[in-house]
Amino acid sequence: MTDIQIAPKTGASADAAAAVAQYFTPVLHELIALAVNGKQAHWHVRGVNFIAVHELLDEVVDHAQEWADLVAERVVALGLPIDGRLGTVAAESGAVVPKLGFTTYDDAIADVVAQIDLATEKINAAIEGTADIDPASQDVVIEIRRGIDKDRWFLSAHVAVK
């Protein structure tokens, strides 16, 4: 019988993995909150731009879910668990709970953009914090930053003024 290692073997030390988890956990929480709150906005948006905003919000939610998975899997690949349970996210996220019910497209966009901005703050902290600790992990959050910037741009373009 061969000796099998249970924990993943990576180039990161245990200290580096713990530091990455410290930066990635808030990113995970905000991305999960973005996905949940974005879906709430998707279901309740109203107005002249309904179909475009409704469909765009679905894309934002899909991206947030993909990025949350990417962040969580990076921490787990480094050998540590991560807590993405909804109760933990609700307690730890800085997201403002959207009001219940129908909302205009511009209010829905404003709410989702505010959540994107909060997630971006955590992503920026992770980019800075992982630079000297684990460049492979930093690359993960840099990739997410590029995508979330694009999602914010697409949403903001629906309410931009001349």
pLDDT in tens, the chain (162 residues): 555 454 555 666 888 899 999 999 999 999 999 999 999 999 999 998 899 999 999 999 999 999 999 999 999 999 999 999 999 999 999 988 888 899 999 999 999 999 999 999 999 999 999 999 999 999 999 999 999 999 999 999 988 765
Does this model's pTM top 0.85? My answer is: yes
Chain center to CA of 70: 10
Contact 57, 112 (CB under 8 A): yes
In this structure, CATH architecture of domain 14-156: Up-down Bundle (1.20)
Domain boundaries, the chain: 14-156
Give the CA distances from residue 118 to residues 27, 64, 70, 109, in Å, rounded to whole numbers and listed in that order.
Answer: 9, 13, 18, 14
The structure tokens listed for 145 are 């930053």
Identity of the amino acid at 52? A
